[in-house]
Amino acid sequence: MSLTTLDPRTALVAIDLQNGIVGMPTQPYAAADVVSRTASLADAFRSRGLPVVLVRVSFAADWADAVPGRTERQARGLAFPDGWDVIVDELSGGPGDIRVTKHNWSAFHGTDLDVQLRRRGITQIVLTGIATSIGVESTARDAYAHGYHVTLATDAMADSDPEAHAGSVERIFPRLGESGTTADVLELLAKTHA
């Protein structure tokens, strides 16, 4: 794992750090640690005038906006408590933050994320969030396909399945971008965006 550079126009993209998701058990890092590390990154990005994108997943009560299709494990029909899809307080303080609501795994599919990033001249994204093997990996794949440089802060992401997390970090992410720790990103940000 090594990071080489951050482009002049880099955005932080935090995936699904919302009340109903950070309350679930995660591996190999606790959700509270993922949130704390992401908040550190968000503060650093905001202080340098770089965009912070807060992505949440949400569905209509009747699931009309959910992705159709048959799968062996369906979430369709589950009832979620009020406020489950609200971004956690630790991240919600940036008045200039970009907010994206998705209805599937990737933050790009069916949203205006690509338009929001391109309007700001963004060429690189730093990804954090939960779950590593679902929302984070799907967004990383789409970011790569859209031509963005992808950086993955691997200690600012977690999964309900430690093997799935490890599979993403060890096998998939090296093909999509560069990985490092939150400290690595902060150090590089301080050097390149003083």
Domains for the chain: give ranges and CATH numbers. 10-60+84-192 (3.40.50.850)
pTM (two decimals): 0.92
**Contact criterion met (CB below 8 Å) for 155 and 37:** yes
DSSP annotation string for 9-22: SEEEEEE--BHHHH
Looking at residue 193, its pLDDT comes to 87
Q: Please give the full DSSP string across 45-100, using - where no structure is assigned.
A: HHHTT--EEEEEE---TT-TTSPPS--SS--TT----TTTTSBPGGGTT-TT-EEE
Tens-binned pLDDT, residue by residue, of the chain (194 aa): 589 999 999 999 999 999 989 999 999 999 999 999 999 999 999 999 999 999 999 865 544 455 656 544 555 555 566 777 899 999 987 899 999 999 888 999 999 999 999 999 999 999 999 999 999 999 999 999 999 999 999 999 999 999 999 999 999 999 999 999 999 999 999 999 87
pLDDT tens for each residue of 156-185: 999 999 999 999 999 999 999 999 999 999
Helices (H) and strands (E) in the chain, counts: 7, 6
Q: In this structure, which amino acid lies at residue 138? A: S
pLDDT given for residue 74 in this prediction: 57
SS3 101: strand
Helix (H) or strand (E) holding 27: none
Distance between start and end Cα atoms, the chain: 23
pLDDT, tens digit, for every residue of 25-41? 999 999 999 999 999 99
